[in-house]
A = this chain, B = another copy of it.
Amino acid sequence: MNFIAQLAASQQRRDSLLCVGLDPDPQRFPEPWRGDSQRIYDFCARIVDATKDLACCFKPQIAYFAAHGAEDQLERLMAHLRRVAPDVPVILDAKRGDIGATAEQYAREAFERYQADAVTLSPYMGFDSIEPYLRYDGKGLFLLCRTSNPGGADLQALPLASGVLLYEQVATLAAGAWNRSARLGLVVGATWPEDIARVRRVAPTLPLLIPGVGAQGGDAQAAVRSAAGGPVVVNSSRAILYASAAADFAPAAREAARVTRDLLAQSRR
C-alpha cells in the first residue's frame, strides 16, 4: 500500500485529520526528566502511546534529535511506532534537499535507516533533487510550498513573470510534471488560509500537510475549510506535547489531541 492510501485508511479508521508532531525539547519535559536529552525516546514514546488512536499520522522533527546527538533514540522511536501503531504512517520532517548523489544518501537515511513512510523536502533545487526519493516504492514526499513562518513570504509569495506566485508554481509542478508516481503532497501553513485555497485550486487532489495550528496561532478550522476537496493533514506539535508540564503530560496530551481531532473532524462536515 503506498503512503497516500495508507494515510487515507488511517484517517478513515480514526475519523482524524490530526498529525501529532514530535518535536521533543528536553527543557520542556516534566520533572524529573527536564533537561535530560537521554529521555527523548521515553517522552516521545509516552506521547505516541497516549495519542495513537487519535492521530492519523506522526511527524518526528529530526532537528530535535540531531541537536542532542540522539539519532539512536529516533531509531528506537521509529521502531516503537511500527510496533504499537503499525497502520499509522510516519512522516519524517527533515526538509533536506540536495543534488542527485547526495539526495540518494538522504533518501537512504529517511527510508532505510529510519524506515519513514514519507518525508518533507525543500523544492528549491528542482525535480532532480526529489527524484531519488521517488525511487523508493510507495513512499510519500511533502514539498515545502507556502510555509507557516512570517518569512515564508520572502521568496514563496514573489510574483512570477508568468502571473502566478512562486508557491503556486511549486504547487502546479507538484500536481503535474513532477508527480509521475502520484506520491507528492505539499506543506502549506495554517497561518495563511487564503493561500491554502490558492494552492488547492492548482493542486486539487494533492494531500496538504498543514502545520502552524496551536502554538503557531493558525486557525485549524479555517485551514481545513480552505483545503476542502482533497486530502488534508493538520499538524500540531507543541500544543499537544506540552499540554502539561507536570507528571500528567501524557493524559494531558491525549486530551489536547482529542479536542483538536474533534475540532478538525467537525470542520470537515
Contact = CB atoms under 8 A, between A and B. Distances in A.
A109 interface: yes
Nearest to A69: B113
A36 to B, nearest CB: 16
A208 interface: no
A106 B66 contact: yes
A126 interface: yes
B67 A100 contact: no
Interface stretch (A50-58, A158-166, A222-230): A158-166
Given A113-B69, A149-B100, A166-B166, A124 B126 contact: no
Interface in A108-147: 108-109, 112-113, 122-129, 131, 144, 147
Contact of A166 (B95, B127, B155): B155
Contact of A148 (B99, B109, B159): B99
Interface string A152-195: 11111011111100100110010000000000000000000000
A106 B66 CA distance: 7
Given A123-B154, A125-B144, A160-B160, 18 more contacts: A63-B98, A63-B103, A63-B106, A95-B98, A99-B147, A122-B122, A122-B125, A123-B155, A125-B151, A126-B149, A126-B151, A126-B152, A126-B153, A129-B149, A155-B166, A158-B161, A161-B163, A166-B166
